[in-house]
């Protein structure tokens, strides 16, 4: 299985990102990316060997995690990086901010109002 | 996505009318913070107007079935009517400059189909520090961490 740069470009376009921005956001260096892009297979040789013995494509013996899991893991990495840069910041606050930034502003405000009305602050 | 039972289309219509009538206003307080991603909790949407006597404000209210209730010695200026019940009028923003100066410290946020001016998180923090009530002090770490998160995110992209 090779990396598909066209697919990456297409996904970047959908998210409104350049490749540079994507790599920065994912904390992946250009060197690492292009090294990956040049490989004939991004999967480990042992996995390819197992698939070969079974006579199936490597994807047939891989279980893919749902997209939400990948996104959550990416956000966790971002939160860790923010807290590393700002040690006084609370991981919880940073995490919740990142999660809210995934939503449109109107939904962020709705959440805030719903919680505010459920818990009387005054 | 949160349930759309609050801040419905009818309630958003007031903001739309304010923009359509070209009323000078901005969203401030914790609603402004929440719009920018801060995990803050609020009960209402605070609006700061340049001029409460602006006839365009009256027109916007009229179009959504709302009314302006002027201040009395014992009550602040208020808004009345079902579609504007979620909104509060802010008369003074402690620790901040005047409306025109602070307008430079706003960002544009899209709510539904409407672009509104929202006071920046940094200026909300200044205001909360100046007001210095217990509830303001409690929310400060949340706002400061949100600023750190946004800066780190913007720096990366």
Q: Do B24 and B49 meet the contact criterion of CB atoms below 8 Å apart?
A: yes
What is the Cα–Cα distance from A65 to B109, expressed in whole angstroms? Answer: 34
Phi and psi (nearest 5°) for B88? Answer: -120, 150
Element (H, E) at B78: strand B78-80
Residues contacting A36, CB < 8 A, separation 6+: A3, A42
pLDDT tens for the 157 residues of chain B, in order: 544 678 989 899 999 999 999 999 999 999 999 999 999 999 999 999 999 999 999 999 999 999 999 999 989 999 999 999 999 999 989 999 999 999 999 999 999 889 999 999 999 999 999 999 999 999 999 999 999 999 988 765 5
CB neighbourhood size of B108 (10 A): 8
Note the pLDDT of residue A120: 59
Q: Are B126 and B101 in contact (CB under 8 A)?
A: no
Q: Find which of B16, B30, B43 to mutate to test the A interface (most A CBs within 10 Å of its CB).
A: B43
Helix (H, G, I), strand (E, B) or coil at B135: helix
Beta carbons of B153 and A78 less than 8 Å apart: yes
| Nearest of B75, B80, B153 to residue A82 by alpha carbon | B153
Residue B156 contacts A, CB cutoff 8 Å? yes
Q: What is the ipTM of this complex?
A: 0.88
Q: How is residue B133 written in tokens? A: 């009530």
Q: Please list every residue in chain B whose beta carbon sits closer than 8 Å to the beta carbon of residue A96.
A: 39
User: Are B8 and B83 in contact, with CB atoms under 8 Å apart?
Assistant: no
| DSSP 8-state code for residue A119 | S
pLDDT in tens, A75-90: 999 999 999 999 999 9
What is the reported pLDDT for B2? 47
pLDDT digits over A6-35, tens only? 999 999 999 888 999 899 888 899 999 999
Q: How far is B90 from chain A (nearest CA, A)?
A: 17
State the nearest Cα–Cα gap between A74 and chain B, in angstroms.
Answer: 13
Residues of chain A with Cβ-Cβ distance to B152 below 8 Å are 78, 81-82, 85-86
Give the number of C-alpha atoms closer than 13 A to the C-alpha of residue A98, restricted to the C-beta side. 26
Q: What is the pTM of this model?
A: 0.80
């Amino acid at each position: 299985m090779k990396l598909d740069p066209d697919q990456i470009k297409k996904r970047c376009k959908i998210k409104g990102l350049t490749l540079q921005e994507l790599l920065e956001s994912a904390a992946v260096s250009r060197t690492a990316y292009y090294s990956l892009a040049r490989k004939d297979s991004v999967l480990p040789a042992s996995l390819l060997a197992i698939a070969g013995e079974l006579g199936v494509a490597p994807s047939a013996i891989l279980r893919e995690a749902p997209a939400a899991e990948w996104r959550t893991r990416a956000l966790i990495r971002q939160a860790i990086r923010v807290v590393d840069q700002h040690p006084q910041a609370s991981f919880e606050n940073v995490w919740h901010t990142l999660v809210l930034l995934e939503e449109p502003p109107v939904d962020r405000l709705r959440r805030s109002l719903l919680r505010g009305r459920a818990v009387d602050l005054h | 996505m949160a349930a759309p039972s609050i801040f419905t289309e009818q309630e958003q219509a007031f903001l739309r009318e304010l923009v359509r009538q070209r009323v000078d206003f901005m969203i401030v307080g914790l609603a402004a913070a929440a719009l920018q991603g801060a995990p803050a909790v609020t009960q209402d949407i605070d609006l700061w107007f340049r001029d409460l006597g602006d006839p365009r404000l009256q027109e916007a209210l009229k179009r959504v079935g709302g009314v302006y209730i002027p201040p009395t010695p014992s009550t602040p200026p208020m808004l009345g009517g079902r579609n504007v019940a979620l909104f509060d009028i802010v008369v003074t923003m402690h620790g901040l400059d005047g409306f025109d100066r602070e307008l430079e410290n706003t960002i544009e946020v899209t709510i539904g189909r409407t672009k509104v001016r929202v006071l920046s998180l940094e200026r909300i923090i200044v205001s909360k520090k100046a007001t210095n009530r217990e509830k303001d002090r409690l929310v400060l770490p949340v706002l400061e961490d949100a600023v750190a998160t946004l800066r780190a995110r913007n720096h990366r992209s």
